Amino acid sequence: QIHPLLPGGSFKSEFQSKFVVANIIGQGTYGCVFEVVNTLDQWKYAVKRIPMGGSTEDQMETEKEVITLASFDYPGIVAYKHSWIETPPPGWQ
């Protein structure tokens, strides 16, 4: 279960407000991939969630992963569409 709000808190997840999780497709070193349904267009998408570490080096590694995903252009690879950064409070999920 992923919670969009902490009790008495104000954090609202962009991921939670735009998508409904249908399934977890896979997990790996750089994060987790979800099969989701977009609440606006009702299309299914794969969303890869990559946790960002607190150090500058960790953040640079995560940004390199995003840049690599955006550079892929091959029929056998799911197309990159969009990314964003969320900063949930500690213990959010």
Binding residues for ATP: 48
Supply 21's token pair: 């999780």
| Contact partners, residue 73, CB within 8 Å, separation at least 6 | 79
Proportion of the chain in helix, strand, coil states, percent, rounded to 5: 25, 25, 50
Contact 23, 11 (CB under 8 A): no
> Annotated binding residues, as ranges?
48
